[in-house]
Amino acid sequence: MSKVCQITGKKVVSGNNVSFSNRKTKRKFLPNLQTKKFFIPEENKWITLKVSAAAIRTIDKNGISATLADARSKGFLK
């Protein structure tokens, strides 16, 4: 699986390591992804998602059903 959050769409971003002498070398900024199981009470089943730490906080705040509906409308989840 790719390194993309299924809720927020966060993905790998490229940038530079900058040394003290101001030399720049390419690097990657990886999202803080976790594989986590969530229970959907409306469907009475468990789903496994690859989500970022920010997405876990969003799910805790808004609920899993509302968050999944929002992610589907934005195209992050099929």
For the record, the structure tokens of 11 come out as 């993905």
**What pLDDT does 78 receive?**
79
Residue pointed to by tokens 């705040």: 61
pTM for the predicted model, two decimal places: 0.86
For 63-75, the pLDDT digits (tens) are: 999 999 999 999 9
User: What pLDDT, in 10s, does the model give residues 2-40?
Assistant: 899 999 999 999 999 999 999 999 999 999 999 999 999
Q: What pLDDT was estimated at residue 1? A: 59
**Quick one: CA torsion of 69, 74, 76, 78, rounded to 10 degrees?**
60
What six digits make up the tokens of 8? 């927020």
The CATH number fitting domain 13-74, selected from 1.10.3720.10, 1.10.287.3610, 2.30.170.40, 3.20.20.140: 2.30.170.40
| Confidence category of residue 61, pLDDT binned at 50, 70, 90 | very high
